[in-house]
Amino acid sequence: MSKIIISKENYHHNLGLLVKKAGSKDKIMVVIKDNAYGHGLEIMAKLAKDYGIKKAAVKTLQEALLVENLFDEVLILANHPPAEVVDSNISFAVHSLEFLQKFPKNSKIHLNIDTGMHRNGILMSQVQEALEYIEQNSLILKGVFTHFRSADDMNGELFWQQENWKKAKQEAKQKIEELNLNMPAFHSCNSAALLRSKDEIKDDFARCGIATYGYTHIDKNIDTFDLKPVLSLYASRLSSRVLKSQEKVGYGGVYEAKKDMIISTYDIGYGDGFFRYDGLGDLKIANGQKILGRVSMDSLCIKGDKQSICLFNDASELSLYFKTITYEILTKLMPWITREVV
């Protein structure tokens, strides 16, 4: 069977590095949305808890319900307002004033402020109105946050947005005091912004996803970091045969044997979330071998007859080859692939 191996040691190593940056374990919220970036939601939630992390962020209520008992707080980043109040340690990100008005009384919320990304969040000029609405409608303000658009990039944009955040935060704090609301947590950094911060962060915590899994897309001219990939993908052999000289394998027959060779087919394809290699370019799997011919929906072909083969233990090369980011290589891996922690 195909298999994903999760390295607990590497995950805890990455958490250690981030905790050191942030200042303490309490200053890290692990982002385990989208099935923990393809690693397996419940597996990664348990590993984070074992390490001493107390906060997590997920995508939906469905994900939150699976892990809520492992954390003090679970923040849902991309759910619509629920019809009834969710009475637990689950809180919801609020992305607009319109959205805010749909939450049932006593909902726990984190108010998202748009400080320049313009993807989600209330405008900085709407902070007062939002806080007054929260106070008048008995919503429970657990957090105020923002998200940076250019934390990976070699330019001044991160600093510009951090200045906006500083202003938004000051204004929100002042208004919260005036309204006599409990002071919420303030948070802004993703992995990249945390990794780039020179001093301990001023916020209450950072929301870290990709770096916990061992990757960063921060421009290498800015800095490099000792992160270790957590996930490896293994495929196992379905069948073997001799491909005779000049015979071709797979759809379109794009790979042709130069001489007689043993080939095997393995049980991972693009239907499992592995990118569809077209058999033409210079792509190598973990052991340096090439995939022979096109990747099929449920299988791919490699020279030899090994029982099991590691397709990748570092998503960076695949992401470069397919002109995407490691996030996408990882999150695409389907939940039905068996996950095993070592």
Ligand X SMILES: *Cc1c(COP(=O)(O)O)cnc(C)c1O
Q: Which residue is nearest to ligand X (CB)?
A: 209
Please tell me whether residue 37 adopts helix, strand or coil conformation. helix
Residue with Cβ nearer ligand X (17 or 208): 208
User: Least separation, in Å, of the C-beta of 28 and ligand X?
Assistant: 11
Q: Is 112 buried (19+), middle (13-18) or exposed (0-12) by CB count in 10 A?
A: buried
Query: In Å, what is the CA distance from 172 to each residue of 56, 184, 211?
Result: 23, 10, 29
Structure tokens at 275: 């990118």
Q: Which three-class secondary structure state does DSSP give residue 291? A: strand
Q: How far is the CB of 163 from ligand X (least distance, A)?
A: 19
Phi and psi for 237 in degrees, rounded to 5?
A: -70, 130
Q: Which pairs with CB-CB distance under 8 Å and at least 24 residues apart come from 320-323? A: 321/281, 321/283, 322/275
Q: Is 109:86 a contact under the CB 8 Å cutoff?
A: no
Question: Minimum Å distance from CB 155 to ligand X?
Answer: 17
Binding region for ligand X (CB under 6 A): 31, 33, 77, 147, 190-192, 207-211
Closer residue to ligand X (CB): 12 or 110:
110
- The CB-of-49 to ligand X minimum distance in angstroms stands at 18
Min dist CB 30 to ligand X, Å, is 9
Q: Which is nearer to ligand X, 30 or 127 (CB)?
A: 30
Q: Which is nearer to ligand X, 191 or 313 (CB)?
A: 191
Residue 12 and residue 215: Cα distance in Å, rounded? 14
Active site residues: 33, 251
The CB density around residue 34, as the number of other CB atoms within 10 Å, is 20
CA of 186: how far to CAs of 58, 216, 292, 310, in Å?
18, 23, 51, 42
- CA distances, 121 to each of 22, 61, 78 (Å): 24, 19, 12
How far is 199 from 179, CA to CA, in rounded Å?
32
- The distance of closest approach from Cβ of residue 211 to ligand X in the complex, given in angstroms and rounded to an integer, is 6
| Residue 99 or 270 with smaller CB distance to ligand X | 99
Q: Which is nearer to ligand X, 32 or 243 (CB)?
A: 32
